[in-house]
Amino acid sequence: MMPMAGGQSTDIEQLSINTIRTLAMDAVQAANSGHPGTPMALAPVVYCLWNRFLRFDPADPVWPDRDRFVLSVGHASMLLYAILHLCRVRAVRDGERHNDALAVPLDDIRKFRQLNSKCPGHPEYHWTPGVETTTGPLGQGLANSVGMAIAQRWKARYFNRPGFDIINYNIFALCGDGCFMEGVSSEAASLAGHLKLSNLCWVYDNNRITIEGKTSLAFSEDVAARFRAYHWHVEHVNDANDLDALTRAFETFRKETGRPTLIIVDSHIAFGAPNKQDTHQAHGEPLGEEEIRLTKRQYGWPDDAKFLVPDEVPAHFQLEMGARGKVERDAWATLLQAYRKKHPDLAAHLDAMERRQLPDNWDRQVPTFPADPKGLATRESSGKVLNAIAGAVPWVMGGSADLAPSTKTRLTFDGAGDFQHGSEGGRNLHFGVREHAMGSILTGMALSKVRPYGSGFLIFSDYGRPAIRLAAMMGVPVIYVFTHDSIGVGEDGPTHQPIEQLASLRAIPGLVTIRPGDANEVAEAWRVMMQMPHAPVALALTRQALPTLDRTRYAPADGLARGAYVLADAGNGVPEVLLLTSGSELSLCVRAYETLAEQGIRARVVSMPSWELFERQSQEYRDDVLPPGVTARVSVEQSAVFGWSQYVGLTGTSLGMTSYGASAPLKDLIPHFGFTLDRVVAAARQQVERQGHTSVR
């Protein structure tokens, strides 16, 4: 076995490191797809962290007080799959250990990047136990890790008591040059430094290579200086193979109490063939059989052995990491038993939070809003409901991208407080003007089992879309409160008036979008969202006041739970025309309905705040709300009409926006863009006439 450069390692350590490397080479070659370079270069780093430092029990990978490891360089997924296999991490089902099955069997490594393998191209949360978050888009994992660090700090402040450090874990993230070029990591690092998250450690693979070639093509900044300016502690390891230097760096992180830590690790993507020049090419491609043989020969490995795992390697990990993890986990379980006796209420909250459950009577203070023709902006009613819920659910926390006064998302009850360094029990987060990082941080918080929300203007959902998409992919319960949801923004003009945003959010699989039409629909929306533990929700709210409908005249607002419901119907329940709408246009359609009734036209108003929830209902219910035989249909929404055709049909009419809006007071924009009573009534009459009804007069 050839010795490593730099710090000395024992034969079993070298054998373990080379097993990680050869598994990565073989898996990528078998798939004829993937990235072997980074897993090979960073094998010593991951070996050192996992076997010497990580607080993790392979027999219980969902232990609440485990350290978190985030592979932000998701293309290096084989690095994670190899270590999960060698550490014998157990499979998990429904949040519990599943017998003694391995999370990553060797057969799944052999099927790397193949259908149904536990080793997909990039790590996927829920799919592979031991994967803490779905990574791939560079920088996302780093921002997720900041959310995890924030959640840990809040949980420690809320749950820990003298003699009972129930929450005491750290968060590690492995990143590369691409992660640092992406802006989301800069946003997240800046906030982490401001909050002094000393429980957070990023390990930066400084290999100076990207897909296109050397990083000098586009990246020449002083990373260490940048992070010192962010108020991070910076360590530098000159050789990724130097286990002693890596150990000292991780030990220094453990001692740091006032700043997050960045460990810069110099590595080289290089292989066995002496004439191999284009090392950047192998970063994203299989090495080829000949190169693999030469590289294995350099390692003292059997040339033709494929997916070889020497028996002593898993045994070594079990003796070191496995034994340490079991002791730490058992000690925590013993401490938790005593904690349950001493602090039963807090223990019950911890159990509920970890299981994504809610306390009893969590919605008892949610208000019911009286009918009011002037009404409230839905952002206003949402703020009242949010405070009622957060007051009863201690682990609801969140904030805005510097817009809390406008989005009405500040928690104002006694004791809510601000989350800052030194007051980590605060429930109000200040993300600054960082929409992208906010979205990713919220995901990390949700993965840590708190219930987070984040807010901003709907137009700025574009800035956070990558994070929203990944939260939907993972099925984590993040709540996005988006206000200023239409041309109601008025004078701010086209740059701030959301047009296509609703349609684009509705297009994200797994995301539930809700646009309530009055204060009581807002209250029901929050009830529905809080009871969805496995899906993110985008809540679209108005800046302008909307009438609070009289629910003694119209259907109860709890119909929102089914996505769409009949709000107002024809006298005999047989409508001639359907008026479909959401949000601020709901009251307009109610007025049109009443006008049509006066004209002898039987109309039905269908409130459709959530297409996704409606599509989950039975066909019978959907047909009852939208009778197939009634083809005269009009949709009304101050947004792009894209998508409404599935409900109004090819012959229906969709009244919406076809431009980016304009800068003017709302009272002028409404008639300018045609969201008037006369236009809705005229469209309904035309639909009835087109379908050949004789009652139009």
Residues with a known catalytic role: 435
Instruction: Copy the structure tokens of residue 168.
Output: 């005491």
Q: What are phi and psi of 606, to 5 degrees?
A: -110, 115
344-354 vs 323-342: helix axis angle to the nearest 10?
130
Query: 307-346 burial, b if ≥16 CB within 10 A, otherwise e?
Result: ebbeeebbebbbebbbebbeebbeebeebbeebeeebeeb
Measured in whole angstroms, how far is the alpha carbon of residue 483 from the centre of its chain?
19
Cβ atoms of 41 and 283 within 8 Å: the answer is no
Cβ atoms of 321 and 54 within 8 Å: the answer is yes
Answer left, alpha or beta for residue 475, where phi above 0 means left and psi between -120 and 50 means alpha.
Answer: left
Give the DSSP letter string of 74-89: GGGHHHHHHHHHHTTP
For residue 116, the tally of other CB atoms under 10 A from its CB is 8
Instruction: Copy the structure tokens of residue 275.
Output: 């004439």
Instruction: Copy the structure tokens of residue 383.
Output: 């703020």
Closest CA to 431 of 176, 178, 184: 184
Tell me how far apart the 2 most distant CA atoms of the chain are, in Å. Answer: 94
Query: 411-422 burial, b if ≥16 CB within 10 A, otherwise e?
Result: beeeebeebeee
CA dihedral 154, 158, 159, 162 (to 10 degrees): 110
